Amino acid sequence: MPSDTSALLETLGSLEQLKKMTERIPGMIFQFHRSASGRMRFPYLAGSVALIRGVERRLLADDAHHAFDRVDPEDFPRLMAAIERSAKNQTPLATQFRLRQPDGEVHWIAARAQPEPLGNGTLWHGLMLDISEQIAYQAHLRELSDTDELTGLANRRKLMCRLDEEISLSNRHSTPLSLMLIDLDHFKRINDTWGHLQGDQVLTELAGLCTDALREEDLVARLGGEEFAIMLPLTPLSRCQPLAERLRQSIAAHDFGITQGRVTVSIGVAEHRVGESRDVLIERADRGLYAAKHRGRNLVISVE
Ligand SMILES: Nc1nc2c(ncn2[C@@H]2O[C@H](COP(=O)(O)OP(=O)(O)OP(=O)(O)O)[C@@H](O)[C@H]2O)c(=O)[nH]1
C-alpha cells in the first residue's frame, strides 16, 4: 500500500475514533461565535445529544438562540454578562446555568471556554458539562448543614440567616416581625426520670406541635438542647402573643406518653423594632423567657 494511502487511512481511523469518543462524552465540546453585530451561533458542536435535546445542531450552527431560548430566564442575564465580559477582557468564559429540556426537565450546565478574537467578533472553544448531580448534592449538603438532626427542624445557623434576611426586610419596609423563644420546663427532670431516649422523644414531639401550630412562612428552629425559637414574619406582637399562648396551652395539654401535664414550656416574645440588631431582638425575647421561668414557668411573657 502506498504510504500516502496508509496515512490517509490512519487519519480516517483517528477521525472515526474522535467521532465515537465525542459522541460518548458526558457533555459537549463546542465552538461558539459572536459577531460584532451580536449574532450568535455554534459553528461546531459535538458530544452528548442529551444535553440539548430536541434542537437540531444544524439550526444551532446558524443561530444559537434555539439553545438560549431554553436557558432559565433567571440565569439568562448572568450568562449573557459572562459572555460579554469574556469577549471584552479576553478572559476564559466560566459560568453555569439551568437549561430546560422539551419534557420540562431542568439540567444544570457548566460551561468553560477560551475566547479567540476574530476580525468579525469572538470565537470561543470550550465544553459544556451536565452538573445537575453535583448541584443536587450541594443542595443536600446545605440542607444537612441547616437542619437539626434530632427533630428535622431548622438549626441555629439557619435561624440566624433567616432572621438577618427578615430583619433587613422589616427595616426596609417597616413590616412587623416577631420572635418567640421557647424553653422546656424542668427538662432535666424529664431526662432523669424517664431517660434520655424518652427525653429525645419529647423534643421531637414538641417540634411537631410547634410546626403544626404555625403558618408555612414562620420558621421553627431548635437552637440546641431544650431551647426552640419561632420567627414570625409579618406578625406584630399583638398577634404573636395569643399564638404563643395557644401554643403553650396545647403543649401543656398534649400527651407526651409520660404523665399528662408534666411537659410545659416557658415562652419569651418580642417584636422587632425598626433599626434594631438581631442580637438585641434575641436578647429582648430572652428577657421575656427568663421572666417566664422566674415567675414559675408554663408562662408566656412579652417584652415591649
Ligand atoms: N434528651 C435530651 N436531653 C437534652 C438534649 N439536649 C440537652 N438536654 C438536656 O436538657 C436539660 C436542660 O436542663 P437545664 O438547663 O437544667 O434546664 P431545665 O431542667 O429544663 O430547667 P428550666 O429550663 O430552668 O426549666 C439537661 O438535662 C440536658 O442534658 C437532647 O438533645 N436530648
| Residue 295, burial from CB neighbour count under 10 angstroms (0-12, 13-18, 19+) | exposed
Please tell me the distance from the alpha carbon of residue 21 to that of residue 4, in angstroms, as a whole number: 25
Domains and CATH numbers, the chain: 3-136 (3.30.450.20), 146-303 (3.30.70.270)
pLDDT of amino acid 2? 58
108 lines ligand 1 (CB under 6 A): no
pLDDT of amino acid 261? 57
188 lines ligand 1 (CB under 6 A): yes
How would you list the strands of the sheet with 219-224, edge to edge?
Answer: 154-155, 219-224, 227-233, 177-184, 265-271, 300-303
pTM to 2 decimal places: 0.70
pLDDT band, very low/low/confident/very high, at 33 (cuts 50, 70, 90) = very high
The string of pLDDT tens digits covering residues 38-78 is 999 999 998 887 777 778 888 899 999 989 999 999 999 99
Higher pLDDT, 260 or 262: 262
pLDDT of amino acid 1? 54
For ligand 1, atom 12, the nearest C-alpha belongs to 188
Give the contacts of 59 (CB within 8 A, at least 6 positions apart). Answer: 66
**DSSP classification of residue 158:** H
Higher pLDDT, 252 or 24: 252
Q: Among all residues, which ones are annotated catalytic? A: 226
Cell (9 digits) for 197: 431516649
Please tell me the distance from the alpha carbon of residue 148 to that of residue 179, in angstroms, as a whole number: 19
pLDDT over 90 (residue 16): no
pLDDT of amino acid 85? 96
**DSSP classification of residue 231:** E
pLDDT band, very low/low/confident/very high, at 11 (cuts 50, 70, 90) = confident
Give the contacts of 81 (CB within 8 A, at least 6 positions apart). Answer: none
Inter-CA distances, 175 with 66, 212, 226, 243, Å: 44, 24, 30, 18
How many angstroms separate the alpha carbon of residue 226 from the centre of ligand 1? 5
| Amino acid occupying residue 147 | T
pLDDT of amino acid 260? 56
65 lines ligand 1 (CB under 6 A): no
